[in-house]
Structure 1
Amino acid sequence: MRPSPIPSRTAIAGHPIHPMLIHFPVAALLGLVASDIGFLMTGDTFWARASLWLAGVGSLCGWGAGLIGLIDLVSVAQIRRLIAAWSHALVAVMGLSVVTLNWLLRLDDMQSWVNPWGLSLSIFTAVLVSLAGILGGQLVYEHGVGVDTELDQ
């Protein structure tokens, strides 16, 4: 059975903005784990600097994408009724809080925080981002959030 579509309030020409924006922070936050491991394996400060930037970009872009998603969550009654929507939001905010802490810890000394706290926080963030992605997929594929099921003729 196909879910009836739940339109997004934050859309451009019918295309929801939140799913357009989340790819950048997700890529940055998953790349953060790799750059932390790169620094630990090589000791090259390039990887520590890359981690600092990836944490910052992931954090800032993630909060921006989250604000767009929040508009849909609070302004569309059909979305507000979904447990998966609230779970997605909660897990995403937890992940963004962890990566923001991770980024702020690295600002003064980008190298000393990588082992063990930086890498641990990066891995924890990657797990939370993955869980938020699963819940976001559930919103789209099971509940039809932001999906236009009508074909233009």
Structure 2
Amino acid sequence: MQSRLRVQGHPIQPMLVTFPLGLFVSATVFDFTDVVGGPAFLGEVGYWTGVAALVAAALTAVAGMIDLWDVPVDRTRRTAVAFNLVNAVMAGLFLLTCLVRSQAPEHGASAAMLITELVALAAGGIGVHLGARLIRQFDSGRTETGGLDALANGTVEIVRPRP
């Protein structure tokens, strides 16, 4: 399977997934610090980090939908659909907390919002597992030749088995 969106031969979506996931984790850490009694501005930092994560998640979802068109209808497609749905659930839960917090003057977090974010991160963990499985399924038909000597020369070839 070849991705439609590539940078120097590498699919874009696996690279993009790291941004929303990292931002969601950071937002949760800021919110945790706010909830346990840290400085109040950390709640606002957590809110805006969550908003940035939602923007990154939207861009990643677009790349995922474009790549989904080319996935063959088999086990790999089911994994890809599950991966995208789990990531959508994670983003949806964070969207919910951001919408609730947008009404507050300081955008601070509460314990209930923190629990919702932790549930969203658990869904994100499932997404990471599905993403790793997806990469293994995409790469199952390819083998790298040359070993470590090829890395020293900077030339690693990918050989595909003949049908």
Q: What TM-score does the superposition give when structure 1 sets the normalisation length?
A: 0.84
**Alignment partner, residue 76 of structure 1:** 70
1:124: how far off?
1.1
**Alignment partner, residue 3 of structure 1:** none
Contiguous gaps of at least 5 residues in structure 2: 145-155, 159-163
Q: What RMSD over aligned residues (CA atoms) do the two structures have, in Å?
A: 2.0
Is the Cα contact below 8 Å between 2:83 and 2:127 reproduced in 1? yes
Alpha-carbon distance between aligned partners in 2 of 1:149 and 1:7, rounded to the nearest angstrom: 15
1:107: how far off?
1.3
Which aligned pairs between 1:11-50 and structure 2 lie closer than 5 A? 11-50=6-45
The SS at the match of 1:42 is coil
**Alignment partner, residue 157 of structure 2:** 152
Alpha-carbon distance between aligned partners in 2 of 1:17 and 1:40, rounded to the nearest angstrom: 36
The SS at the match of 2:110 is helix
Alpha-carbon distance between aligned partners in 2 of 1:143 and 1:25, rounded to the nearest angstrom: 23
Find the structure with the greater CA-based Rg.
2
Is the Cα contact below 8 Å between 1:96 and 1:125 reproduced in 2? yes
**Alignment partner, residue 141 of structure 1:** 136
1:76: how far off?
0.5
Is the Cα contact below 8 Å between 1:99 and 1:122 reproduced in 2? yes
Is the Cα contact below 8 Å between 2:35 and 2:111 reproduced in 1? no
The SS at the match of 2:2 is coil
Contiguous gaps of at least 5 residues in structure 1: 1-5
Which aligned pairs between 1:67-146 and structure 2 lie closer than 5 A? 67-73=62-68, 75-78=69-72, 80-81=73-74, 82=76, 83-109=78-104, 110-111=107-108, 114-144=109-139
Q: What TM-score does the superposition give when structure 2 sets the normalisation length?
A: 0.79
Identity among equivalent positions (%) equals 22
Evaluate the alpha carbon distance shift between residue 56 and residue 149 of structure 1 in structure 2; reply closer, same or farther with a 3 A threshold. farther
Evaluate the alpha carbon distance shift between residue 46 and residue 76 of structure 1 in structure 2; reply closer, same or farther with a 3 A threshold. same
Is the Cα contact below 8 Å between 1:33 and 1:123 reproduced in 2? yes
1:43: how far off?
4.2
